[in-house]
Amino acid sequence: MRDSFGSKFGTLVAMAGSAVGLGNLWRFPYLVGENGGAAFIIVYILLGFLICLPIFVSEFIIGRRSQKNAFAAFRDLSDGSAWRWVGLFTVIVPLIVLSYYSVIGGWSVEYLIKSLTFSFTGGSSRAQISTMFSGFVSSTWAPLGVHTIFLLTTTVVVMIGIKDGIEKFSKVMMPLLFVIVLTIAIYSVTLPGASAGIDYLFHPDFSKIDAKACAAALGQAFFSLSLGFGTILTYASYASKSDNIMTQSASTAISDLMFALIAGVAIMPAVFAFGIDPQSGPGLVFETLPYVFGQMPAGGVVAILFFLALLVAALTSSISMLEVAVAYLMEEKKFSRLTACITLFVICWIVGALCSLSFGPLSHIKIDGGNLFDFFDSLSSNVLMTLGSLFTVLFVGWRLKKTDIYDEFTNGGTLSANAKMFGVLWFLIRYICPLAIIAIFLTNLLS
């Protein structure tokens, strides 16, 4: 018998866990910093609800309608047509993402360990903190060790199953994650000089908004909401037929947005309080914040809470990525859950190891000017997720029957509110979303 989530709340926290991840704590703050603060946030919100929410709903409809893994969902709903290869695409993409994502997850393990030993509170300079990070990632064995710990933890949770593993983990960890980040945010805004960070986040400067900033906002929304690579589709296949798709989708999107904003409030006021450039880029979390923690009162405790939150956020997302391929191997290749998990662990560990070593022993290998890690990150964020989202909305908008979509979205016509908004949703999925995705894809390609 196919496993499933045991409750509406279980479905919500699992999907929110898939959405809330490193994208909120690692990427969102530095993208806000690089693109003018509040103006970027406003664009992010608009694109998130006009473009990304309909895509999320589309994935939910495919998954719950089929009650199958990603490959079988596209195959069965298209009556075995060539669309099934889109399903296979959405199985492979999360494995690619997980392979380099687990490297960053490993960094969060390492920095949680460093924070537990109060490595940032000894009066280290910014240069020393930066050297600490560069020395760590360019080494061989330490990054591989924490990469292994992170990926193994992910695998064990998925190995336990949907209801007893993923759902129970999410029910505990997601509320804990929100409490931790909210606590840090409250503390951060009380620091002297923190008001400049609040103003930076919430005072819009639209002169900074251009096609590139819009592309970055939509790309971040894809990454953050786990769109375009089968995770939402797979989780939706475990959802109850009585769940309200619109309510669950909107709740997940709002949870993701709120978490990103709270993370911004947790980070930016502290950054400004200690005179740090908010445009610190990807190094903000691992090179800048540890220095900030070392300067603030009770910074050692704040560092522990922050890197614990970073690790939990990374795990809730990595678990959803692994489950996509596990479901495929179990249902299509008749693997047991244990065998599927072990097989995928080995594959992701090898690719992830290559990404990890690309900062050190394999740094001489360059693809398009960057190392292997940069290549996988750029390929996933700018190409694979975008294409996955495009395929999804084209499939729902142009291949599936409108009556079937209406039936699934309204639970057989029983949800009157969903029925009233269906026309708008249908228009967005069929016309606006594909055009917006293509525009953003071309912007990324040509930039």
Average pLDDT over every residue of 320-345: 97
The CA-atom distances, in angstroms, between 326 and each of 164, 207, 239 are 16, 46, 17
Question: Residue 424's pLDDT band (boundaries 50, 70, 90)?
Answer: very high
What average pLDDT does range 244-253 have in this prediction?
Answer: 96
Q: Rounded mean pLDDT of the chain? A: 92
What is residue 229's predicted lDDT score, i.e. its pLDDT?
A: 87
Within a domain: 69:
yes
pLDDT band at 423 (very low <50, low <70, confident <90, very high): very high
DSSP assignment of 354-384: HHHHTTTTTTT--BTTB-HHHHHHHHIIIII
pLDDT bracket for residue 46 (50, 70, 90): very high
> CA 298, 303, 304, 306 torsion: positive or negative?
positive
Comparison of pLDDT for 382 and 133, the residue scoring more: 133
Those residues whose C-beta lies under 8 Å from the C-beta of residue 177, and which sit 6 or more positions away, are 20, 259, 309, 312, 313, 316
pLDDT value at 350 more than 80: yes
Give the per-residue pLDDT at 37: 84
321 residue type, one letter: M
Q: What are phi and psi of 37, to 5 degrees?
A: 75, -125
The predicted structure's pLDDT at residue 282? 60
> CA-to-CA distance for 354 and 149, rounded, in angstroms?
16
Instruction: Determine, yes or no, domain membership for 3.
Output: no
- DSSP label of 231: H
| SS3 state at 162 | helix
Q: pLDDT (tens digit, 9 = 90+) per residue, 130-177?
A: 899 999 999 999 999 999 999 999 999 999 999 999 999 999 999 999
Q: What domain count does the chain have?
A: 1
What confidence category does residue 279 fall into, taking pLDDT thresholds of 50, 70 and 90?
Answer: low
What residue numbers bound the domain in which 81 lies?
8-446
1: in domain: no
Mean pLDDT of 382-411: 94
Domain assignment present for 89: yes
The CATH number for 269's domain is 1.10.4160.10
Global confidence as pTM: 0.94
Is 271 part of a structural domain of the chain? yes
Which residues make beta-bridge pairs with 367? 370
In a domain, 313, yes or no: yes
Residue 224 lies in a domain: yes
Q: Are 217 and 43 in contact (CB under 8 A)?
A: yes
In a domain, 307, yes or no: yes
